[in-house]
Amino acid sequence: MRNSLTGALVVLAFAAASSAFADVAPPPPQLEPLPEAQPPPPEIANDPDLEPQITIIRREAETIEEYRVNGRLTMIKVTPARGRPYYLVADGVGGGFIRRDSLDTGLRVPMWLLFSF
């Protein structure tokens, strides 16, 4: 008896679902065609002019790495034989360089715990 009741419920559910899909509305009559697709923008990531050219100069007391983009010197990394490396980053305004001990910008994004389970 239980199997026949379950079978009847399955048949009723299938009939209700099939009648719901049969009443699908037709699409609106005034559809406009899509405009022509634009070509994708050129690849910037693969542009060799935008990739830095690195020149490494080794001396007894230090190693200097010069980073150039489009022939313009943008950054210098100095690694002394003893001590920590430091960076000279182009100022961008007067053509000078600013010394940094790391490339970390110091920006700290707040990260709060809101919920815990």
* Residue 91 domain boundaries: 53-100
Q: Tell me the residue ranges of DSSP E strands in the chain.
A: 53-58, 62-69, 72-80, 86-90, 97-100
Q: How many domains does the chain have?
A: 1
Give a yes or no: residue 79 inside a domain: yes
What pLDDT, on a 0 to 100 scale, did the predictor assign at position 1?
A: 52
* Model confidence pLDDT, tens digit, residues 88-106: 998 877 778 989 888 887 7
* Coil vs helix vs strand at 103: coil
48 belongs to a structural domain = no
Specify if 36 maps to a domain.
Answer: no
Residue 85 and residue 77 in contact, taking contact as beta carbons nearer than 8 Å: yes
Least confidently predicted of 49-53, 62-66, 83-87, 100-104: 49-53
Helix H or strand E encompassing 10: helix 2-22
Q: Give the pLDDT mean for 8-35.
A: 69
Pick the closest to residue 87 from 97, 69, 96 (CA basis): 97
Contacting residues for 97 by C-beta, under 8 A, at least 6 apart: 76, 88, 89, 90, 91
